[in-house]
């Protein structure tokens, strides 16, 4: 894998905010829930909680301007509510206003010290602002301050650390290992660790991880192609050729419907392209070997 792999990932790949874990005291779709809060606010306009909850729902609905209006009203009623700043930060983040999102996260953490959601929000903002080191620190704090962090936190931290350069690849890998130890087997974490092993030139370790993933699934075509790419990068041309041929066979065993997806069609093109390149490379290797033997005679 080239430097276009893990370390070449743009920090913006870290930034897709997940759904809010905030609870709401009602059910139904967003329109219905907002309508409920409209009625509650009319009945109890001095309750900041209703304004805050409606702001969060409007944020999820994409109505950021109205959400910010509700947050201002909630703040007027009770400026001590730290969650106002969290929702405000999420709203700015949704709009790509990352400096404001970072400022809100910092204000939230002042009011609610040690809250992992605040560290995660500030980490995402720092990542978007190209402060990879600061983002990695925040993701570490978010992981440390909760019993069951999401795999995404470990992935985001690893990407930020790896983006700092080769000197940080081992640190990034150790962070993923921490996630695997803490959360148990997770395919996304294993794949990230695999890519980091390749970046570090540890091809055998990467192949061992890949073999473990293949043993755990019946669908092996994508993994076989990935194995071929790693073997090719390791200079093991003959083994790479066999792996891509196995990937083609696995793909051909799928039903027509299974092969008809855009993902499988792209995989088929990748396999065929690599097979053509590897056949050419094998021919050149044989020619070079024959020429070398002739010179020795």
The pLDDT of residue 282 is 77
Half-sphere CA count of 222, side-chain side, radius 13 A:
10
Q: What is the pLDDT of residues 140-177, one digit of tens each?
A: 999 999 989 999 999 999 999 999 999 999 999 999 99
Question: CA separation (Å) from 160 to 127, 170, 255?
Answer: 7, 13, 40
Question: CA 262 to CA 253: how far, in whole Å?
Answer: 17
Q: What is the pLDDT of residues 4-21, one digit of tens each?
A: 333 322 233 333 333 333
The pLDDT of residue 173 is 98
Q: What is the pLDDT of residues 66-87, one digit of tens each?
A: 999 999 999 999 999 999 999 9
For each of the domains in the chain, give its residue range(s) and CATH number, in order of start: 1-10+43-204 (1.25.40.10), 217-297 (1.20.58)
By 3-state DSSP, what share of the chain in percent is helix, strand and coil, each rounded to 5?
Answer: 75, 0, 25
The stretch 105-123 carries a mean pLDDT of 97
The pLDDT of residue 45 is 94
Q: Is-contact 141 119, C-beta < 8 A? A: yes
Question: CA 60 to CA 82: how far, in whole Å?
Answer: 19
The pLDDT of residue 247 is 97
Query: Which of 22-26, 195-199, 207-211, 236-240 is predicted least confidently?
Result: 22-26
Alpha helix (H) ranges present in 63-150?
Answer: 64-77, 83-94, 98-111, 116-128, 132-144
pTM: 0.82
User: Which of 252-288 are b and which e, b meaning 16 or more Cβ less than 10 Å from the residue's Cβ?
Assistant: eeeeeeebeeeebeebbebbeebbeebeeeeeeeeee
Q: For residue 19, what is the DSSP state?
A: P
Confidence of residue 297 (pLDDT cuts 50, 70, 90): low
CA geometry: angle at 39 spanning 34 and 40, to 5°?
95
The pLDDT of residue 25 is 40
């Amino acid at each position: 894998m080239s430097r276009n792999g893990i370390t070449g990932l743009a920090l913006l790949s870290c930034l897709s905010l997940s759904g809010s874990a905030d609870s709401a005291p009602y059910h139904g779709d967003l329109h219905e829930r907002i309508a409920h809060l409209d009625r509650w606010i009319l009945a109890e306009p001095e309750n900041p909680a209703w304004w805050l909850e409606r702001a969060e729902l409007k944020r999820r609905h994409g109505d950021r301007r109205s959400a910010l209006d509700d947050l201002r009203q909630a703040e007027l009623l009770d400026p001590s509510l730290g969650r106002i700043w969290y929702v405000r930060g999420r709203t700015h983040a949704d709009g790509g206003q990352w400096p404001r999102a970072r400022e809100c996260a910092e204000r939230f953490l002042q009011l609610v010290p040690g809250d992992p959601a605040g560290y995660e929000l500030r980490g995402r903002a720092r990542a978007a602002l190209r402060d990879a080191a600061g983002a990695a620190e925040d993701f570490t704090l978010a992981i440390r301050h909760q019993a069951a962090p999401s795999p995404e936190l470990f992935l985001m931290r690893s990407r930020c650390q790896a983006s700092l350069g080769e000197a940080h690849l081992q640190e990034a890998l150790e962070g993923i290992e921490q996630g695997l130890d803490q959360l148990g087997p997770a395919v996304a974490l294993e794949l990230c660790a695999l890519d980091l092993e390749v970046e570090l030139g540890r091809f055998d370790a990467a192949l061992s991880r890949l073999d473990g993933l293949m043993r755990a699934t019946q669908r092996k075509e994508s993994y076989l192609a990935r194995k071929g790419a790693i073997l090719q990068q390791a200079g093991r041309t003959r083994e790479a050729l066999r792996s891509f041929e196995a990937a083609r066979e696995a793909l051909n065993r799928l039903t027509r419907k299974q092969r008809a997806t855009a993902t499988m069609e792209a995989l088929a093109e990748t396999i065929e392209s690599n097979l053509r390149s590897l056949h050419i490379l094998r021919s050149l290797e044989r020619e070079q070997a024959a020429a070398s033997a002739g010179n020795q005679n």
